[in-house]
């Protein structure tokens, strides 16, 4: 910040992201209604869910990420309500719980039992270095992320609001549209958070590649365009108060620093290498104890 004071001007929020989220919700609900009443074949629904719906629902998920840092609208409350709205086509109530656990991820990066992005030991030992099991883990990532990490705290009032409103919306979907519409949205979520290129960042962000001790990697490829630039991950961890739309400008300003770090150009290649390389497992992460965090807080 001292070296590049112009970075301060990038901090704040970007309401244009709200327009994208509204458009994505409308598009997904429109497609769901179309498939319910058009008599489209199962194969057309499946293909659309993978090639279109998965991108849209994952993009909405990255909108939940933006709102969790209050980077879309002016107030925390407004960002929370927008997240609950953006959650609707995802079907699974996750916006408010994601907000809680993701902010903990930033606070307790690499600390077992605190960082929900970190695979627990049982999960890591179960998958091991088997290419088949790693591939299955990627396909069913959404289930591992929700059920295997052991983060089941008592829901707070915002989480209850998210759950109740999502379940009410799901009931309306079934009543006024039908199960085909719900099935399309569920497939979109399953694909969008599993074996799909847009989900490659789940692996690229914090795994240790090439024996490096660099624990956070950025990705500068084209899929950032449908992910609110979540690929600019080193930049995001350094400056959580900068909206995704302005992270490329941050990299441009501080190109000397970020250009010196290793990065990825393809999430597909990252995904493929994670599966094939037996030297890369869920233990290929920087893990630290809680005492490291406590000590850093005392000296900061």
Read off the pLDDT of each residue in 164-178 and give the average, rounded to a whole number: 97
Token look-up 């939940």 returns 64
The chain-wide mean pLDDT, for the chain, equals: 93
For residue 245, count CB atoms less than 10 angstroms from its CB and return exposed for 0-12, middle for 13-18, buried for 19 or more: middle
Read off the pLDDT of each residue in 69-78 and give the average, rounded to a whole number: 98
For residue 29, count CB atoms less than 10 angstroms from its CB and return exposed for 0-12, middle for 13-18, buried for 19 or more: middle
Read off the pLDDT of each residue in 228-236 and give the average, rounded to a whole number: 97
Q: What is the pLDDT of residue 150?
A: 52
Give the 3-state DSSP-derived string for 1-66, with helices as H, strands as E and coil as C.
Answer: CCCCHHHHHHCCCCCHHHHHHHHHHHHHHHHHHHHHHHCCCHHHHHHHHHHHHHHHHHHHHHHHHH
Give the tens place of pLDDT for each residue, 99-116.
999 999 999 998 988 888
Read off the pLDDT of each residue in 253-274 and give the average, rounded to a whole number: 94
Give the tens place of pLDDT for each residue, 121-166.
888 899 999 999 999 999 998 888 776 565 567 889 999 999 999 9
Q: What is the pLDDT of residue 151?
A: 54
Reported as half-sphere exposure (CB side, CA atoms, 13 A), residue 213 has a value of 1
Strand, helix or coil at 218? strand
Cα–Cα nearest to 177, from 94, 92, 89: 89
Read off the pLDDT of each residue in 73-83 and give the average, rounded to a whole number: 98
Read off the pLDDT of each residue in 201-216 and give the average, rounded to a whole number: 88
Answer whether residue 250 shows pLDDT above 80.
yes
Residue 295: band (very low, low, confident or very high) from pLDDT cuts 50, 70, 90:
confident
Q: Determine what percent of the chain is predicted with pLDDT higher than 90.
A: 80
Q: What is the pLDDT of residue 297?
A: 80
Give the tens place of pLDDT for each residue, 23-61.
999 999 999 999 999 999 999 999 999 999 999 999 999
Residue 79: band (very low, low, confident or very high) from pLDDT cuts 50, 70, 90:
very high
Strand, helix or coil at 131? helix
Q: What is the pLDDT of residue 289?
A: 85
Alpha carbon of 126 to those of 107, 120, 137, 281: distances in Å?
27, 10, 10, 11
pTM for this entry: 0.94
Residue 120: band (very low, low, confident or very high) from pLDDT cuts 50, 70, 90:
confident
Q: What is the pLDDT of residue 162?
A: 96
- DSSP H or E stretch at residue 185: helix 179-192
What number of residues does the chain have?
Answer: 300
At residue 288, φ and ψ (nearest 5 deg) are: -135, 160
Task: Give the C-alpha separation, 262 to 157, whole Å.
Answer: 41
CB-CB contact of 269 with 204 (8 Å): no
Answer whether residue 300 shows pLDDT above 80.
no
For residue 66, count CB atoms less than 10 angstroms from its CB and return exposed for 0-12, middle for 13-18, buried for 19 or more: buried
């Amino acid at each position: 910040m001292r070296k590049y004071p112009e970075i301060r001007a990038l901090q704040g929020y970007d309401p244009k992201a709200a327009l994208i989220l509204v458009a994505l919700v409308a598009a997904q609900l429109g497609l769901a209604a179309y498939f319910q009443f058009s008599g489209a074949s199962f194969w057309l629904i499946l293909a659309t869910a993978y090639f279109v719906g998965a991108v849209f629902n994952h993009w909405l998920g990255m909108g939940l990420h933006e709102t969790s840092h209050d980077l879309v609208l002016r107030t925390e409350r407004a960002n929370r309500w927008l997240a609950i709205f953006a959650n609707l086509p995802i079907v699974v109530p996750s916006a408010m719980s994601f907000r809680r656990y993701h902010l903990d991820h930033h606070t307790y990066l690499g600390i077992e039992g605190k960082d929900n992005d970190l695979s627990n030991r049982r999960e890591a030992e179960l998958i091991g270095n088997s290419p088949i099991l790693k591939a299955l883990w990627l396909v069913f990532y959404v289930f591992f992320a929700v059920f295997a990490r052991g983060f089941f705290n008592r829901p707070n009032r915002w989480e209850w609001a998210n759950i109740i409103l999502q379940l009410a919306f799901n009931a309306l979907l079934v009543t006024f549209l039908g199960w085909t519409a719900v099935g399309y949205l569920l497939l979109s979520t399953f694909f969008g958070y599993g074996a799909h290129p847009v989900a490659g960042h789940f692996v690229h962000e914090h795994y240790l590649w090439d024996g490096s001790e660099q624990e956070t990697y950025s990705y500068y490829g084209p899929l950032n365009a449908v992910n609110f630039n979540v690929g600019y991950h080193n930049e995001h961890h350094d400056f959580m108060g900068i909206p995704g739309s302005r992270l490329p400008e941050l990299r441009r300003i501080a190109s000397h620093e970020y250009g010196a770090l290793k990065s990825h150009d393809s999430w597909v290649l990252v995904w493929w290498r994670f599966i094939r390389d037996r030297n890369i497992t869920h233990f290929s992460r920087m893990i630290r104890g809680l005492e490291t965090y406590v000590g850093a807080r005392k000296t900061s």
